[in-house]
Chains A and B, each alone.
Chain A
């Protein structure tokens, strides 16, 4: 497993443990509750990444580290601060107008599809979602 996958796993690790976006908990609740240690096998499963038991052992402390770092952020007192959805809402750019632009390099893009059977992208047989 390469470095990119580690980043992916860590970034994906944040959501399931509901660090900052958990819909069922308020920010205030976070500050009071201790952060749970990561369930690495489950995180790997939700990210569709296969990990060997050894890798799980290896990643657990690394992910734990990241979670602890968020734990520090959670400790900041935000009692009187208006919540912000984004950090960058002062930047103004015109929204995109609804005018079609065809992508010119489509052929090259489709040529890079690993399994293509004109005009479809060919996939292993999939039937059930979720």
Chain B
């Protein structure tokens, strides 16, 4: 049997929180008392038209005031790790492979097989634990969580129970301005390693279910938040920040549609002033951040409504599914007492031992994280809107950083990335590192515009050529004869020419029809083939137009 053994065993401080009255379900219930006063918060009643009405009138009636109530939201997030192989066997995993092609006796749970832990799972877990400001367990272990369901043929899931690899951290984020803005810090209860289950398909009409075990045994990190969120927006932004974080770290692609990032949200409401927590309801099946936002706000309204109608007893502990079609949550299953998972230590796997050297090497290899980037961009003078946009995508952020390093003006670089470049990328469904434009050339382009070599308008043309064909700003300007005309005498000559060619309009202008200035400016620009410096052009034009009046 293999032992996970990272450059020597660390024997000091052995933490043993076996006494923790941890719930049987790996999630954290809301009985964890916590002060609710941490930061200034947006009001909990935040429908903002998030609940869209459909044909049935129920969602509409649910769109009502939730004041007088406090919402408590906690989130369990499963992040699928982007390792090449599964957690406990060498099977490759690629999303979308033919069903049951990447399987072996270990992940199919055949008798007599032994799991061998993928070392990458540990380094990814440590990475994420550190990035979430957690305390690491220098010694942790795997446990068996028994459950009988065909998507996990062994009859148990290898998970971590009482000693998760990381505990007690937090995550910082900035709410988008359209949701009122503001900075938030949400607690992280724990991060633990576990394996994913296979995929079951249930046909509507069929008499049987179909099983694909490709995903069985794929490594996951489960992140359990403290119940710190108060609205759909906060919850969705928490999930978005987790996605940003795992992408910055390179531990997962964070793709919600493919199920690489899955959020189970626990929602409860209680009248303000009541010390007892309300009954919590779990919501699943949200495959986008906006769906999360809407599902939670719907669920809050539903529960508050029941409270207001004196039917609080109808809020039962259950799992509800978000139905995208009807924009509401529906009962999936009611909890019949807590399931007995009968956790016990996985006897086939050695304990996971981390050394200080190993942790230090990962700590020193951590990239700049989204929160650090946002604070740095803020310090560079970018507006919060720009900060959030650029830091949202790790590729955009790296591109921006590289362009600024090459001397690009900070604000102009941000504007180009957020404007024409972003529009192009969105249109072509590409990422900024998949186009031919380099940060170096964006910096050169900005310098050419700032230095007056080319106009902003010509800059756009250059940009699109850089994006589609590549090359350098210098060569494109020369090839297309784009150098801006900044010589006043040359512009003066062009103005004279245009005035001479349009005597009728000139007369009208001098007769008081001053709007014609735009016409003249356009004509001059046209004869200059768009190369006249607009500021100089206007200055000279005004002088000439008004000179002989």
A and B associate in one complex: yes
| Residue in B closest to A15 when the chains form the complex, CB atoms | B342
Interface membership of B286, Cβ < 8 A: no
Cβ A123 vs Cβ B18 within 8 A: no
Cα(A102)–Cα(B94), bound, Å: 13
With A100-B85, A106-B104 as contacts: A129 and B202 at CB distance below 8 Å? no
- Give the residue of A21, A88, A125 whose beta carbon is less than 8 angstroms from that of B207: A125
The answer to whether the Cβ of B506 comes within 8 Å of any Cβ in the partner chain is no
Smallest CB–CB gap between B330 and chain A, Å? 14
A23 interface residue per 8 A CB criterion: yes
Q: Contact between A93 and B119 (Cβ–Cβ < 8 Å)?
A: no
Nearest A residue (CB) for B212: A120
Give the segment of A51-59, A60-68, A69-77, A78-86 that binds chain B.
A78-86
Residue from the list B20, B100, B147 in contact with A23, Cβ < 8 A: B20
A95 on the B face (CB < 8 A):
yes
Secondary structure at the A interface, as helix, strand, loop or mixed, is: loop
**B327 CB within 8 Å of chain A:** no
Contact partner, B141, options A14, A86, A94, A123, Cβ 8 Å: A86
How long is the Cα–Cα vector from A121 to B103 in the complex, in angstroms? 12
Given A96-B90, A106-B103: A85 touches B120 (CB 8 Å cut-off) = no
**Interface contact B208-A122, CB-CB below 8 Å:** yes
- Among B16, B22, B118, B206, the residue within 8 A (CB) of A96 is B118
**B residues contacting the other copy or chain, number (CB 8 A):** 69
Q: What residue in chain B is nearest A48 (Cβ atoms)?
A: B148
Contact between chains at B351 and A92 (CB < 8 Å): no
Distance to closest chain B CB from A1 (angstroms): 17
The reply to whether B350 and A86 form a contact with Cβ atoms under 8 Å apart is: yes
Are A125 and B209 within 8 A (Cβ)?
yes
For the complex, give the distance between the alpha carbons of A30 and B150 in Å.
35
Taking CB atoms, residues of chain A closer than 8 Å to B83 are: 98
In the bound complex, do residue B2 and residue A97 qualify as a contact, i.e. CB atoms below 8 Å apart?
no
Known: A15-B342, A85-B141. A126 touches B209 (CB 8 A): yes
> Which A residues, 92 to 121, have Cβ-Cβ distances below 8 Å to chain B?
92-103, 106, 109-110, 117, 119-121
Pick from B18, B91, B345: contact of A102, CB below 8 A: B91
Closest to B162 in A: A23
Chain A contacts for B428, CB-based, 8 A: none
Which of A94, A96, A110 is in CB contact (< 8 Å) with B100? A110
Q: Does A89 contact B (CB under 8 A)?
A: yes
Q: In the complex, which residues 195-231 of chain B have their Cβ closer than 8 Å to any Cβ of chain A?
A: 200-202, 206-213
With A98-B83, A126-B149 already in contact, the answer to whether A103 and B105 are too (CB < 8 A) is yes
B518 at interface, CB cutoff 8 A? no
Given known A-B contacts A95-B119, A96-B116, A103-B104, A123 and B3 have beta carbons under 8 A apart:
no
Check if B5 is an interface residue, CB within 8 A of chain A. yes
Is A37's beta carbon under 8 Å from chain B?
no
B270 at interface by CB-CB < 8 Å: no
B328 located at the interface, meaning its Cβ lies under 8 Å from any Cβ of chain A in the complex: no
B419 to chain A, nearest CB (A): 40
Contact status B103-A130, CB under 8 Å: no
Which of B16, B22, B149 has a CB less than 8 Å from the CB of A83? B16
**Is there contact, CB below 8 Å, between B104 and A26?**
no
Q: Is B21 an interface residue (CB 8 A)?
A: yes
Q: Is the CB of A126 within 8 A of B340?
A: no
| Interface residue A91 (Cβ < 8 Å from any Cβ of B) | yes
- Residue of B104, B150, B350 touching A123 (CB-CB under 8 A): B150
Determine the distance from Cα of A69 to Cα of B9 in the docked complex, in whole angstroms: 32
* Structural contact, B3 and A93, CB atoms closer than 8 A: yes
Q: How many residues of A contact B (CB 8 A)?
A: 46
Q: Which of B3, B14, B213 makes the CB contact (< 8 A) with A91?
A: B3
- CB neighbours of B1 from chain A (8 A): 88, 91, 93
Whether A126 lies near B18 (C-beta < 8 A) is: no
User: Is B139's CB under 8 angstroms from A85's CB?
Assistant: yes
B171 an interface residue at 8 Å Cβ cutoff?
Answer: no
- What residues of chain A lie closer than 8 Å to B353, measured between beta carbons? 89
Question: Does B68 have its Cβ within 8 Å of any Cβ on chain A?
Answer: no
Bound-complex Cα distance A86 to B6 (A): 16
Q: Is there an interface contact between A21 and B343, defined as CB atoms closer than 8 Å? A: yes
Residue B19 at the chain A interface, CB threshold 8 Å = yes
Inter-chain contact B119/A85, CB cutoff 8 Å: no
CB–CB A21/B345 < 8 A: yes
Q: Which residues does chain A contribute within 8 Å of B344, judged by CB atoms? A: 14-15, 21
Contacts of B5 in A (CB 8 A): 92-95
Instruction: Chain A residues near B263: list those with CB within 8 A.
Output: none
Are A130 and B333 touching (Cβ within 8 A)?
A: yes
B105 and A109 within 8 A (CB): yes
- Alpha-carbon gap, A97 to B118, bound state (A): 6
With a 10 A CB-CB cut-off, give which of B19, B118, B344 has the most chain A CB atoms.
Answer: B344
Give bound CA distance, A88 to B333, whole Å. Answer: 42
Closest CB of chain A to B198's CB: distance in Å? 9
Chain B residues near A117 (CB-CB < 8 A): 210
Q: Name the CB-closest residue of A to B353.
A: A89
- When C-beta atoms are compared, the residue in chain A nearest to B141 turns out to be A85
Is A2's beta carbon under 8 Å from chain B?
A: no
- Cβ-defined contact, B343 with A23, below 8 A: yes
B4 contacts A by Cβ under 8 Å: yes
* Cα–Cα, bound, A3→B206 (Å): 37
Cα distance A73–B540 in the bound complex, in angstroms: 100
Apart from A96-B119, A127-B202, 15 more pairs, CB < 8 Å: A46-B146, A88-B350, A89-B9, A91-B350, A93-B1, A109-B104, A109-B105, A109-B110, A119-B100, A119-B101, A120-B211, A120-B212, A122-B209, A123-B209, A130-B149
A residues near B, CB below 8 A? 12, 14-16, 21, 23-24, 26-27, 46, 48, 82-83, 85-86, 88-89, 91-103, 106, 109-110, 117, 119-130
Residue contacts A-B, CB under 8 angstroms, 16 given: A12-B342, A16-B342, A21-B344, A23-B21, A23-B24, A23-B343, A85-B141, A85-B351, A86-B345, A89-B3, A95-B122, A96-B2, A100-B92, A103-B91, A121-B210, A123-B210
- Nearest first, the 5 closest Cβ-Cβ pairs linking A and B are A103-B104, A101-B90, A100-B92, A95-B119, A120-B210
- Please give the residue numbers on chain B whose beta carbons come within 8 Å of chain A beta carbons, in ascending order: 1-6, 9, 14, 16, 18-22, 24, 83-85, 90-92, 98-105, 108, 110, 116-120, 122, 139, 141, 146-150, 161-163, 200-202, 206-213, 333, 336, 339-340, 342-345, 350-351, 353
